[in-house]
Amino acid sequence: MDRLKHFELVTETYPPDVNGVALTVQALEQGLRGLGHTVGLVRPQRDEDSSRPDPSLLLVEGAPIPRYPGLRFGLPAGRRLTARWSVQRPDAVYIATEGPLGWSALRACRRLGIPVATGFHTRFDDYVGRYGAGFLSPWVFSWLRRFHNRADATLVPTRELQDALAQQGFRHVLRLGRAVDTRDFHPRWRDDALRATWQAGPDAPVVISVGRIAPEKNLPLAVRCFRELQRHRPQARFVWVGDGPARAELQAANPDFIFTGVLRGEALARHFASADLFCFPSLSETFGNVTLEAMASGIAAVAFDYGAAREHLCNGAHGATAAFGDEAGFLEAFVSTALRRDLPALGAAARSAVLHLHPDTVARDFAGLLSGLAQEQEAA
C-alpha cells in the first residue's frame, strides 16, 4: 500500500462561495482527508474567517471580483508559499484557479521542484465574450494555455474536454471524473408543502433552474423555453435558485417567476426534488455539476450535449439533450420532454444513472493522480 502523503490545494474560491469550483475543491479536500492524507489549503481570507490558528490553512490577501458580489480573487503570495513549502514540502500541489494566487503558486512549485497539477474549471475565454469583450477571447485562451502548460498535468472532468484541449496545444491533459452525493440529493426531499407555496398543484409542471443568474448562463433561452411550455400548460411554474448580476432585470421582466436566492444543503435538495424538470441551457460550462445534482434528485433534465450531459444524460431516457448551440433544437427538446406523461419515470431513470458516481471513487482517483506525479519526479 502506498504511504499516506501530504498534498496542498490552492484555490481562489471556496465555500461558503456557491459555485462549481468552490464545491468541487471542497469535495476533493474532504475526499483526500477521508483517505488519510494530510491536506493543506491556500485561499483568500474573508471577514468571517476565525482568528483561531489552523496550520493546515494559509489565508492570503484578496480583492473583490467585479460583477461577482461576495467573491474574491487571491493576490500573489509567492514568498509566503515558498516559505511554507520549504518548511513542510508537499508531495504534490493542486491549483484550482488561474488568478494571481494561482500563478504565484505555480511559480513557487516550479522554483522548489514540487510536482503540480492544475484544474481547468472555468471557460474564461467564453465569459469575456458574454460580458462585451469578445475581442479578448483569443488572448484569454492563450493565457489559459500558457498557465496550464507550466504544470505537470491539467485535470479536466470529461473526455470531450480532454480531447479538445489536447488538440489546441494543451499538454499532459488528464481526466478526473466528477461525482454527486446521492444521499444528499435524493427524491425523498420532495415536498408538497413547498410546491404549494409555488402554487403548483399535482398536475402543474415545475421547471427549475439552479446556478448563477448571469449572462454566461444563456438565460434568454430558458425564458423562451418556459414561455413556450406555458402555451400548452398555463399552470406551469418556473423556480430560479441562485443569484447574480442578471437577477434584477430577469425578475422585473418576469414577475410570475419564483426566485429563491442562493440555497445550500437540505434547502437546495428539497427544491431540486420538488421540481419536475431541470432546465440548463448554459453553453459556457466545463462540466455542470448541477446536472448531476438534478439527476440524483430524481428529476428529468434538458441540457446541451456537452459536459456532464454528454457524459451521463441519455437523450430520451433521462430527459433530453440538444446539439451544442442549437437553440431551436433545445427549445423543441425542452417542450416535448416537459409534456411527456412519463416525466417521473425519466427522473427515476436519471437517478439510477448516477448512483455509481460516488465521491470516494473520485477522491481515490485524485489521490492517485497526484501521487503519480510525485512518483514520476522521484523516478526522474
Does 228 lie in the same domain as 152?
A: no
| Domain residue limits at 218 | 187-354
Which is nearest to 292 in space by CA: 27, 16, 14, 9? 27
Q: Has residue 101 been placed in a domain?
A: yes
Does 277 lie in the same domain as 146?
A: no
Does 200 lie in the same domain as 134?
A: no
Mark the ranges of the chain whose per-residue pLDDT is less than 70. Answer: 1-2, 51, 65-71, 123-136
Largest CA distance in the chain: 66
Does 123 lie in the same domain as 135?
A: yes
325: left (phi over 0), alpha (psi -120 to 50) or beta: left
Does 16 lie in the same domain as 160?
A: yes
Does 126 lie in the same domain as 97?
A: yes
Does 107 lie in the same domain as 156?
A: yes
- 221 by DSSP, 3-state: which? helix
Does 191 lie in the same domain as 83?
A: no
So what's the pLDDT on residue 294?
98
Q: What is the DSSP letter of 88?
A: S
Does 164 lie in the same domain as 312?
A: no
The three grid cell numbers given for residue 282, joined into one nine-digit string = 448554459
So what's the pLDDT on residue 64?
75
So what's the pLDDT on residue 254?
98
Does 256 lie in the same domain as 211?
A: yes
The CATH number assigned to the domain holding 280 equals: 3.40.50.2000
Amino acid residing at 193: A
Phi, psi angles (nearest 5°) of residue 201: -75, 180
Sheet containing strand 206-210, edge to edge, reads: 258-261, 237-241, 206-210, 277-280, 300-304, 319-322
Q: What is the DSSP letter of 118?
A: E
So what's the pLDDT on residue 1?
41
Q: Has residue 1 been placed in a domain?
A: no
Structurally, how many domains does the chain consist of? 2
Does 225 lie in the same domain as 317?
A: yes
Dump pLDDT digits (tens) for 116-134.
Answer: 999 998 766 565 555 555 6
Does 366 lie in the same domain as 341?
A: no
Report how far Cα 351 is from the mean position of its chain's Cα atoms.
19
